[in-house]
Amino acid sequence: MKKSTTLSLQEAAADALAQLLPSATSVTATVFDDRASLPAQFGEAVVASFVGNTAADMALVLSDTEALTEAAGADSALVSLVDVLRPAMEAATQPLGNGVLSESRSEDASALFADEETVVFELKAGKAAAGWFAIRIREGGAIWGSAANPQRDVVGKLGRISNVEMALTVEIGRTRMAVRDVLNLEPGAVIELYRSAGAPADVLLNGRLIAHGEIVVIDQDYAVRITQILDVAEGLN
């Protein structure tokens, strides 16, 4: 049962990634069991690791990087393939629960694809081959604690790193734009955010939502007044 649950988690991650891959046609992800027919080398892979409720290593290899980059509107030297694929890699972590995704990087992922614990997915854009996605769930890699008392375990384990500095971000809104539109921005341009005026700001710790607040001004500096702290145990679900 545990193996089946884990595989479903990996399939959910692959499906979420496929939906955000830039492509002229929809991309699908299918478990690929014929390891003997896999390429011997995966040297041009975009890789990242995730640590949280579930820990995982991921790698993405595209068959036609130029076509997907063009579909994303990222035909500029200022934008790398790693940047273009970052949203898809982040989407793949959503089924894994709370945690932090490392910086994406380009490197050889042959060892990850060859690992027996890795589940490999074949990506297809329509009927055409689009690439490969590999994900390996690391058992025992969770950092959040037990199901019996997750909040107590969180405090005990994270107490060891209580002096480590982390990035706290206040977000008043966000939007999605094609890379070509970002490159066309000029001084004076107005970007509309997906949030109404006066709505609470989000407070994020390393990219994870932990609280809500309101923007205030103190001695001519901006600050945020916390209005709601999200429950830790609730955030672990």
pLDDT (tens digit, 9 = 90+) per residue, 7-60? 689 999 999 999 988 877 888 999 988 877 777 667 678 999 888 778 899 999
SS3 114: helix
Q: Where in the chain is the domain with CATH 3.40.1550.10?
A: 2-138
- Cα–Cα dist 11/52, whole Å: 18
- Cα–Cα dist 192/182, whole Å: 13
CATH class of 150-235: mainly beta
45-76: per-residue pLDDT in tens? 899 988 877 889 999 998 875 655 554 454 45
What is the identity of the amino acid at 22?
P
- In the block, residue with structure tokens 């923007």: 215
- Cα–Cα dist 108/44, whole Å: 6
Lowest mean pLDDT among 44-48, 135-139, 141-145, 183-187: 141-145
pTM of the entire predicted model: 0.58
- In the block, residue with structure tokens 């405090």: 155
In residues, how long is the chain? Answer: 237
Contact 237, 228 (CB under 8 A): no
Over residues 198-209, the mean pLDDT reads 81
What is the identity of the amino acid at 64?
D
CA 26-28-29 angle, 5° bins: 155
% the chain with pLDDT above 70: 75
Region of 67 on the Ramachandran plot (φ > 0 left; ψ -120 to 50 alpha; else beta): alpha
Which superfamily, per CATH, for 2-138? CheC-like (3.40.1550.10)
CA 199-175-72 angle, 5° bins: 170
Contact 169, 162 (CB under 8 A): no
What is the reported pLDDT for 154? Answer: 46
How do strand 27-31 and strand 99-101 relate by DSSP bridges?
unpaired
Q: Where in the chain is the domain with CATH 2.30.330.10?
A: 150-235
What is the reported pLDDT for 100? Answer: 81
127 exposure class (CB count in 10 Å sphere: 0-12, 13-18, 19+)? exposed
* Closest CA relative to residue 21, chosen from 138, 135, 126: 126
